[in-house]
Structure 1
């Protein structure tokens, strides 16, 4: 489908800050005091006590309560999750696009860890890891039976430290060890290039803190390289998601002013909000220097 870019704008993170919902536990407790499910809470308390008394091994109170809260939140819908302090810190690393580790995108397959893609220039890429490789051991620990979260935490660590991965490569039908030194990994969520026939290609792998300014920079670079651009391919295949403000900012760059990007709703009266595309210039938080508006060229070319 082809459509003209009538207006292109970028919006800053501040414009969508209000979209984050803050749950105030004290207020919730006060509002729901008369309707607390006392029988169900009593059942929870009884199960907690029985586990503490009769389970084969001692379990810390914090672990039991944290797991109970995680189960309660995850049952709401596939997109709801409870993050403890450590999980939240790891999420912040991912959305910042910077962390210490090996530099591979992974998933689970048949109880093992599968390499989806080594990040270009990362320690994993330099060590020769390939897409499709299966990780069977992390140092002396077998991967089978290990959760993906635990595998991630095991492979991440302090820059300069080493870990040995045991790799099974299907294409060669062989198993071999690879020792990799951890390093700081910087993930670029925006990739762009000029393809044939004056068409630009922009790939967005995830929506991170720097996705909006990085997109503006990439579009400016493309416009400078080829002032006769005829179209743009915006590639969002296998996008891993990320920060809502990043997604809203990207949408605003390709929608006319006033177009509805996203709306929110909920039980609280102030949860119903609508966010529209608005013309704006993005400013870098680090230096305060304004970025140029998206090049006018992109207001005229069609999107493919």
Structure 2
């Protein structure tokens, strides 16, 4: 796929913008950088002359680029070859494999999230799991691209993963049969009491339109008598900034949606309601937005906008806390930089960088038997190495969650299973909406 086509698609698991890379931009290099470049070139010469084995220039230059970007923050990266192919898959997404979104963290392959309904999801792989072996072979310290390629394959074939799950004493093996992964960004259903549930799995192309069609489908199934709406953004790692604005605009008729502030000219922007859609949908319907620690970036833009405008009650767990914008800067025809260029802010002026979106009603996922153990090791933006610092300078102790026991949340996973509750957070949201009256907080702003 050519880089120009990728830039037109502009759909990353981040909030994405696009900046043209001009000659003038590259010319603006601080004169004091000369001695530092001299050190870099001297290191290159020493390696070429003295390393125990011959080293290709391509390997050294790529290593230098990767090192520069890794020193900035966890989200800036150099993209070419297989990296761009993975990005294309995320945009158009039909491939044979396991249905996992993964990253490399300190030499280990870490699961961001399994795609809902994928083979990995069906065998119980969870966000935060570490994959240590493939078919018994250790992959720790290896290459992420190689691991991803090995996990993909012909539909119907199997691969054995060794999983380390924080909170468990021992790793365990799970065999997964590959399938054809067709990424479905938006799904919907109508629950008892004519409560609509719209699940947004990722912010890829046309998500705003997909959510609008889902709302129309809910109206048809409920014969026009919809009594409540759940917008499920849990384990949604984000995507296109434009799609986040478009989705938010569906539910807002005026005011700011999100702003971004950067150092470069043109990087400070304000996105407002009615920039995409006139009016709003479901304006007289009580609404709940579900989030968790896997809700990041574009998901946080939507949750923050609807929360600040008091359009919806936000429920679940504190979100990931990724409040930065990455821009694609082309480097020739087949490569690009994904570079952090701005922070974004909710309508009230709050940066979610590190702190995330705090739910109005904190609801634990009690139906997950490993929830209590996994939450101790839950990874968020604030835990990442070289993270971008929140400009407000919040201290860690100010981000600590309230751990006091809540009498509403005493049931165990086994007890919930006996009652037929497989997803406690969704169950709690549905029950809340069924009890909601026209004067309740979930409806009135």
Whether TM exceeds 0.5 here: the answer is: yes
Looking at structure 1, the residues matched to 109 and 264 of structure 2 have their Cα atoms a distance apart, in angstroms, of 42
Question: Secondary structure of the residue that 1:274 maps to in structure 2?
Answer: strand
Please name the residue that 2:78 is paired with: 82
Please name the residue that 1:193 is paired with: 189
Over residues 14-61 of structure 1, what are the superposed CA-to-partner deviations in whole Å (9 max), with x where a residue is unaligned? Answer: 9x9xx73324252123333x7261100000001111122222333221
Question: Secondary structure of the residue that 1:242 maps to in structure 2?
Answer: coil
Please name the residue that 2:31 is paired with: 35
Looking at structure 2, the residues matched to 238 and 217 of structure 1 have their Cα atoms a distance apart, in angstroms, of 22
CA change 1:78–1:175 in 2 (3 A) is closer
Deviation of the 1:106 alpha carbon: 5.2
CA change 1:273–1:115 in 2 (3 A) is closer
Does 2:284 match 1:300? yes
- Asked if the contact 1:220/1:295 (under 8 Å) is kept, the reply is no
Looking at structure 2, the residues matched to 295 and 221 of structure 1 have their Cα atoms a distance apart, in angstroms, of 16
1:164 to 154, 159, 166: 159
1:236 to 233, 239, 256: 233
Over residues 238-264 of structure 1, what are the superposed CA-to-partner deviations in whole Å (9 max), with x where a residue is unaligned? Answer: 22112222212111112223x222333
Over residues 259-293 of structure 1, what are the superposed CA-to-partner deviations in whole Å (9 max), with x where a residue is unaligned? Answer: 22233333443333222222646xxxxxxxxxxx9
CA change 1:139–1:76 in 2 (3 A) is same
CA change 1:107–1:70 in 2 (3 A) is closer
Looking at structure 1, the residues matched to 59 and 151 of structure 2 have their Cα atoms a distance apart, in angstroms, of 23
CA RMSD between the two structures: 3.8
Looking at structure 1, the residues matched to 59 and 205 of structure 2 have their Cα atoms a distance apart, in angstroms, of 31
CA change 1:84–1:117 in 2 (3 A) is closer
Instruction: Spell out the pairing of 1:117-132 with structure 2 (5 A cutoff).
Output: 119=115, 122=118, 129-131=123-125
Looking at structure 1, the residues matched to 103 and 269 of structure 2 have their Cα atoms a distance apart, in angstroms, of 35
CA change 1:274–1:72 in 2 (3 A) is same
Over residues 110-139 of structure 1, what are the superposed CA-to-partner deviations in whole Å (9 max), with x where a residue is unaligned? Answer: 9775778765664557xx733358755435
Please name the residue that 2:257 is paired with: 261
Question: Secondary structure of the residue that 1:57 maps to in structure 2?
Answer: coil
Looking at structure 2, the residues matched to 231 and 119 of structure 1 have their Cα atoms a distance apart, in angstroms, of 26
CA change 1:266–1:22 in 2 (3 A) is same
Question: Secondary structure of the residue that 2:77 maps to in structure 1?
Answer: coil
Question: Secondary structure of the residue that 2:45 maps to in structure 1?
Answer: helix
CA change 1:71–1:150 in 2 (3 A) is same
Higher helix share: 1
Deviation of the 1:150 alpha carbon: 3.4
CA change 1:25–1:73 in 2 (3 A) is farther
Instruction: Spell out the pairing of 1:51-200 with structure 2 (5 A cutoff).
Output: 51-105=47-101, 119=115, 122=118, 129-131=123-125, 137-139=133-135, 141-157=137-153, 159=154, 162=157, 164-167=159-162, 178=175, 180=177, 182-200=178-196
Looking at structure 1, the residues matched to 75 and 104 of structure 2 have their Cα atoms a distance apart, in angstroms, of 19
Runs in 1 of length 4+ with deviation above 4 angstroms? 105-125, 132-136, 159-163, 166-171, 173-179, 293-296
TM-score, normalization by structure 2: 0.51
2:268 to 269, 272, 283: 272
Structure 2 alignment gaps of length 5 or more: 1-7, 289-445
CA change 1:108–1:165 in 2 (3 A) is farther
Please name the residue that 1:224 is paired with: 220
CA change 1:70–1:116 in 2 (3 A) is closer
Greater RCO between the two (CA within 8 Å, min separation 6)? 1
Radius of gyration: which is bigger? 1
2:200 to 204, 217, 220: 204
Deviation of the 1:86 alpha carbon: 2.6
